[in-house]
Every structure is written in C-alpha cells, then in structure tokens.
Chain A
C-alpha cells in the first residue's frame, strides 16, 4: 500500500506544527513522542499501532533530552516515520522501528545543518537595523524558521514517496568530510556568540570572575546553579564594597559605562 497525496500533505502539516511547538510554543511537548505516533496513526488509519510505536520510543527518550541546543537522536521523527511505514507496509511495529532508527540519525545530521544555516537569517535581520527597515528585520527573523520547517518535511516526503530504503542510502552517501566537519563546526560556533557577548560586556574589568566560573566548571564540575550562587556571592561582596566607598566619597559622581568596542 502506498501513501496517498492527502496523507502526505496532512503528515507534512503535522510535522511542521509539531516541530514548531517543540521549539517555540512548547505546549504539546509533554508526552510528545507518544502523541506523534498517535497523530500519525490517525492519519494513516491505525492509531493503536501509532500509540504502541510512540510509547516504545518515548520510553527510550526518558532521561535523554535536547537541552541547551544539543543535537540528539530525533525519536519524535522516528515515531512518525516508524508508524507511517508500519501501517503502510503492514509489516507491523518491529519493521517500523527498524526504519525509525536511521531516520532519527538522519534528523540529527539535518539538525546540525539547520542550526548553522539559521545563522545567515539572523545576520540578514540584523543588517536591516542599519537600514532602518524594522518590518523587514522582523520578517527575516521569522524566516529563520524556514530551515527549521523544512527539516522534518524532507524525510517525510523522501520516505513516503521514494521509499524507506532511501534514508539509509542518503546516510551512506553523505560525505564524512562534510558531515564530520559540520559536526565539529556545531561545537565551535557558540564560541563566536560568546566572544561577541564578551566584547559587549564589561569584560576587561571583571575578567577575574570569568576565570573563576571557568575553573568551577572545568576543574570542579560545579553545576550551573552552583556557579551562579558563587557569582551572586561575589556580586554581593562587590556591591557592599561599592556602597561603603560611596558613603566615604559622598557626592562623587559615578563614571564609566559600557566599553564600545567596534565589532
């Protein structure tokens, strides 16, 4: 049995909405893999099978999540493709799951690509600020979703029109020099954002605290909240000292301001 056009369109609409919600509105995220299986099952006429595949994959996700922008295997997409293929081929859940796994891996590669491409949209948007064209700026920011929207649509269309074997073939074709390089780039690019932020902040005067933060994480593996508490403590000490100085030098005007380094 093949998927009909209506089913493919419906599924594409669903994956775009689901992907959007996962990142943005975050309303359907509680139990998201099961619901993905259920909705796909409804589209293809076997919600029960969808629930089972979704449930199995959801249990695999427990404890594994995408936090702070990390790329992890996409079990939601696995549930969607797995359910669609299982219903269409009639080969049941086990076959659906075997197809689901390469799809999850392909999605992980696409995820890195998408998160890199959207840098370009953010730059386009910021350029509009200098032109004074603010509606265009907002539009470019929103267009940043285009690669995100295409991400789940690509595997859905590929699998449902050409066939499930294609996903494995695509994974085989992707050259390692490019995908491995992009993977490394994904780890490096946050350094650019962080360095720009450092240029923006009063780094020169307070670099000592940055070193402390680094050491607390790198050497002592203190969790982020613990490091923040250290930061609050250091901030409080500094604040108290400044207050005392203000009393001593009453009336002295405060000077200083942000370092305007050219970017």
Chain B
C-alpha cells in the first residue's frame, strides 16, 4: 500500500483547523453525535484541499459527522493526528482515522478531565471563592489569566498531535493496516466501556406477589450489571441495519420509547 507523501496543507491550513476547533469544539453538542459536527466544522476546509474528488470528499465528511466526544483541549491532539493521517490518503485511511479518533477519545477524555478540569477547577475555584468571600476579585483574575495562558499549551498539544500523526503515516505506512487493527481493538474496548458509562437506562418496575415486592432492576442486575444499556445499544445497532432506516427515524423512535417507558413506569 502506498500513501502519497507530499503534504498538501500549508501551515495556515493546519492552524485554521486548530483555531476552529479551539474556539468551537462543542458548538453543536448534541446527545446523538456529541462533538461530531464540530470535528467536521474544524476539518472541512483542510479536507477540501486534500480530497479534490467530490464524491470522496462527501464520504470523508460523513465519516467525521459520527459520534465523537472528548475533553476539548485533548481533542486538539486527536484532531491534529487525524488531520495528519488524512493528509496522506491511502486505501486504509478511512478505517485508520475512525480507529484513531475512537481509540483516543475515551482515554484522552479521562486524562483531560482530571488534569484540565477537576483539579484546576477545584484549585482555582477555591482560590476565587475564598478571595471573593473576602471581597477581592483577584482570585477571579488569577483564574482568567490561567485560562489565557493555557491557549498556548492547547496550540502546542494540537501541533504535537499533528506531528506525531504525520510520523505515524509516513514512517509506518507499510504497517498502517496492522496499526489500524490495533487502534480498532483499542477503540472497541473503549466503546465497550462507553456503553455502560454513558447510556443511562434503568427500570423502576416492581412486582408484588403477595407480601413480597420484587424490583425488576435488581433482578436484572443479578443477571448482569448494565444489562439494559447493553441490550439497548444492541437493539439500535440492529435497527440501523434495517432497510430504509435513518438515524432521524431512530431518534424519533428512541424519544417516543423514552416518554412511553417513563410513563408506564418501565424506565426510570
């Protein structure tokens, strides 16, 4: 397999991806694809330069509209890497990019949330709060300065992702298939964990037999924890394979199911 080695993007194109992502990473955040549309927004102008064939470009855009969710700062690393892989199109590029994005989003979110959110929000929040209670706005100012200083770090992170991604495709292009498979494994393991951690579905149904009240949920839990979220993803996956099924139809079905399920006290 041969990947073309000529970079087609100028420094300006690459920077533009960073600034679009950096300023609008969750502009169309939604329950279905979360940050998916923001990755499209950020990557589209650069992808247009890479994919001159109209049909190819459309296919690539569709692939980036898919579910994506991570800590926005860390997302820069992932988008940088994905952009670099895109820049050297080969037969396995689509699979490689999906695998890189899916494999990295979970762990990056975990790391990013603790080092950029939980910890600094607690530290700066506490400083700002205690100084504020003393009537001083200095704590707020410190937090703002920290936020501004981090822009530089966010840019560095994006550039690092781009550089590493480029190294990945140019020096390891012969092994791209096996690396993609490895990333696919990582990605699916992350999705396996995302199902119980992000899909929230429990039952509030109870059965009364004589004096004994049985909760359906505890029965389900004794079979398997997170049985319902697991089954539900399976159901949606199966529905998606049906002819004439679109994601819009699925969403409407899910909304109706949720309202119905809640009101007949099946779901809580």
Contact = CB atoms under 8 A, between A and B. Distances in A.
Interface of A: 23-35, 37-38, 47-48, 51-52, 54-56, 58-59, 61-63, 65, 67-69, 115-119, 121-123, 125-126, 129-130, 132, 134, 137-138, 141-145, 148, 177-178, 180-203, 205-207, 209-219, 222-225, 227-228, 230-232, 234-236, 238-239, 242-243, 246, 254, 256-258, 261, 263
8 contacts: A24-B72, A27-B150, A193-B66, A201-B102, A213-B191, A214-B192, A224-B193, A238-B185
B8 interface: no
A118 B232 contact: no
A191 B233 contact: yes
Interface in B169-198: 175, 177-179, 181-198
Contacts of B69: 68-69
Contacts of A144: 27-30, 37
Nearest to B97: A258
Contacts of A222: 193
Contacts of B178: 238-239, 242-243, 246
Given A23-B29, A61-B125, A217-B192, A263 B41 contact: no
Contact of A238 (B1, B139, B181, B233): B181
A125 B129 contact: no
A187 B135 CA distance: 41
Given A188-B257, A231-B103, A69 B34 contact: yes
Contact of B133 (A51, A125, A203, A239): A51
A184 B268 contact: yes
Interface in B97-137: 98-99, 102-103, 106-107, 109-111, 113, 117-118, 120-122, 124-133, 135-137
CB-based closest 5 A-B pairs: A213-B192, A144-B28, A187-B200, A31-B128, A181-B259
Contact of A224 (B44, B95, B107, B250): B107
Nearest to B111: A225
Contacts of A201: 95, 98-99, 102, 184, 187-188, 191
Interface string B35-51: 01110110010001000
B140 A38 contact: yes
B113 A26 contact: no
Given A142-B41, A189-B254, A195-B237, A234 B177 contact: no
Contacts of B29: 23, 69, 115, 118, 144, 148
Contact of B175 (A63, A200, A243): A243
Given A177-B263, A263-B247, A231 B62 contact: no
A60 to B, nearest CB: 9
Contact of B128 (A55, A177, A228): A55
B144 interface: yes
A52 B134 CA distance: 8
Contacts of B54: 132
Interface centre among A61, A143, A198 (most CB of B within 10 A): A198
B138 to A, nearest CB: 10
Contacts of A51: 132-133, 135-137, 140
Given A27-B148, A225-B110, A258-B95, A234 B186 contact: yes
B153 interface: no
Contacts of A25: 22-23
Interface string B205-219: 000000000000000
A24 B26 contact: yes
A180 B262 contact: yes
Most buried by B among A54, A199, A213, A242: A213
B189 A212 contact: yes
A6 B255 CA distance: 40
A70 to B, nearest CB: 9
Contacts of B246: 263
A227 B190 contact: yes
Contact of A24 (B24, B31, B32): B24
B197 to A, nearest CB: 6
Given A63-B122, A254-B177, 18 more contacts: A23-B29, A25-B23, A31-B127, A34-B132, A68-B69, A118-B30, A125-B28, A188-B258, A193-B66, A195-B233, A197-B67, A201-B95, A213-B188, A216-B192, A231-B190, A235-B181, A235-B182, A263-B245
Nearest to B70: A68
Nearest to A180: B262
A184 B26 CA distance: 22
A261 B102 CA distance: 18
Contact of A122 (B65, B113, B150, B201): B65
Contacts of B150: 27
Contacts of B106: 224, 227-228
A30 B184 contact: no
B184 to A, nearest CB: 5
Contact of B27 (A47, A142, A217): A142
